[in-house]
Amino acid sequence: MKKKPESDENAKPAESGDEKLPPFLRKLHLPGCSMWSAMLWCMVGALLIAQLWGQGAGESERLSYTTFREYLDAGHIAEVTLVERSLEGEFAAPVQYELETGEIVTLTTFTTHLPVFGIDALLPDLEARGVHVTAKPPMDISWPVLLINILPWAILIGGLYFMSRQMRGRGQNIFSIGQSRAKLYDRRKEHTTFDDVAGAEGAKGELQEIILFLKEPERFQRLGGEIPRGVLLVGPPGTGKTLMARAMAGEAEVPFFSITGSDFMEMFVGVGASRVRDLFNDAKKAAPSIVFIDELDSIGRRRGAGLGGGHDEREQTLNQLLSELDGFEPNEGVIVVAATNRPDILDTALLRPGRFDRRIAVDLPTLDARHAILKIHARNKPIADAVDLKRLARGTPGFSGADLENLLNEAALLAARRNVDEIAREDIEEARDKVLMGLQRENLALTDQECEFLAYHEGGHALVAAILPRAEPIHKVTIVPRGRAMGMTQQLPRRDKYLYSRAYMEDRLAVMLGGRAAERLVFDAATSGAADDLKQATRLARKMVLDWGMSDRFGHIAFGEDEDQVFLGEDIARRRQYSEATAREIDEEIRAILDGAYEVATATLREHREALDRLAELLLEHEQIPGAEVLALVGREDDLHAENAVPCNL
């Protein structure tokens, strides 16, 4: 006989706020209340009832006027108080009184109602029998008095009810503000693994080692090894730090608590520290467990920093976090993983061994990594066979994983707009231009002269890039306005570069200044279109002199310094470590480098003036020219060119 599976009826239900209430409070069904808020509601109600009924709480037995006269004539009355038509009094000694039900009770006080007649004769009788008489003014129970007594309580109750409803809508109540907002990862709803993460193999290996320790701790403990208490993921935005943490949660098979740094902060002082304590208490109860803190820099900023001084609430939160990571009490079984793109502003006490023992750099993906990332994001997209993801990876240097995902998503949206079944190469090209330069400005009306200036400007960039030997190959040149750029020359490096020579930098400067050189050569004029070119060229030349030692005059001296952030309060006005005379020489050397690059660009264009004119005509006719045609104009058809865009904006 088959055993009937156990029903879930015996399973312990999830504990809610009502489960914690006593039975008499649970029956009240108060709106939006937990245990403490329900107790507050009862206290407020009790105080209100006590105020409204306070005077009636000590009401005595009401006697008829005839009975009162009998007791008065018998000498049993000791003291009376007159309030309008009512009379309250005390007996000289307790008396036995029979109620209408026949029950005999003992009275010490009484009340009665005076008739309209006979009041004037009552006072002499009371004085004759030695009764002490007191008179009180009539009670004013007008509406203003009633509102003054009830309105404050009504406002208090209404305010508490409104706050309770508002905070309940956000998943909390007024008495849970100091509790942790961390979310427990649910593998049933989402299951991300390291197979969903491409590139950054070194970072993945470090995190997988921590997972292995949680699964097989004896493998490391037999050699005396201890797992790092904290792991800090550092890298530019969009490189996949949070995605790696999500993959770690999917494979660790231990409780995984996730929270962002901003969730600790609140307008009330001490709330952040309370939430840190509550988070680690939950993690310790579920140990072994992992706590992931995203955007650590929001609470881990250097203490006592900033133009306006330290922030007490943030510093208290950081101090509590430091204590929980490695304080007096041991914190075993809890591994903290944090992510930030601003490690330079973190407090040094937070980064020391024992708190964050490992610092894992998650950099921008390389060529192979970009190819792998594109393949992951293309799994659920119908990509045409003509699309070469390897060439697309070569054409996206400097793109992060998030940028690549956005690129394919934009291409899918463009293909859907055309109502086709596959994402074609043209869709991806259009999406890349949109990501790099912005939307096409279709309603921009340019005069013929402006179009001619624009064509020669972009033609100057493209022609210099096509002729100089160390310049990157050209992908395409366009004069279609997009975003803030009126045109663009896209250059495609054959591979990712990590070291740059002085000769390469000089050719790069010449390409940047090729647009201005073409304007001067053809029109003997200068336009505002070269503004961004001049800024980029000046910035690059300054780094060559100050940071890289690419100067004949200064040789191997580096004048550049680390750029401290102003809001850290360390260096509001940056101090130069050289004299005014040296600064003047630096400016002269920067000018000399830029003048040299401009002369190279001018000489190159003057030598190939016919090719420049022909290229400008083609741009005016077609608006966009592929790099192969530019190379053909100067007789370099056999040169290889890649698919990666380094923009030179107008």
Is residue 547 helix, strand or coil? coil
- Is the CA virtual torsion 218, 223, 229, 230 positive or negative? negative
Per DSSP, 486 falls in state: S
Half-sphere exposure (CA, 13 Å, Cβ side) for 81?
11
The letter for the amino acid at 530 is: A
- Asked if 365 and 373 count as a contact pair (C-beta separation under 8 A), the reply is yes
Distance, CA of 46 to CA of 43 (rounded, Å): 5
In 3D, which of 245, 324, 312 has the Cα closest to residue 279? 324
In the numeric block, which tokens belong to residue 102?
């026949």
Strand order in the sheet with 624-626: 624-626, 474-478, 488-491, 646-649
Is residue 635 helix, strand or coil? coil
- Is the CA virtual torsion 604, 605, 606, 608 positive or negative? positive
If 0-12 CB within 10 Å is exposed, 13-18 middle and 19+ buried, where does residue 627 land?
buried
If 0-12 CB within 10 Å is exposed, 13-18 middle and 19+ buried, where does residue 206 land?
middle
Half-sphere exposure (CA, 13 Å, Cβ side) for 206?
18
Distance, CA of 512 to CA of 534 (rounded, Å): 8
Distance, CA of 187 to CA of 203 (rounded, Å): 22
Q: 514-523 and 609-622 helices cross at what angle (nearest 10)?
A: 100
Distance, CA of 567 to CA of 347 (rounded, Å): 14
If 0-12 CB within 10 Å is exposed, 13-18 middle and 19+ buried, where does residue 50 land?
exposed
**Residue tagged active-site, from 315, 458, 472, 519:** 458
Is-catalytic flag, 84? no
Place of tokens 């990666």: 644
Residues with a known catalytic role: 458
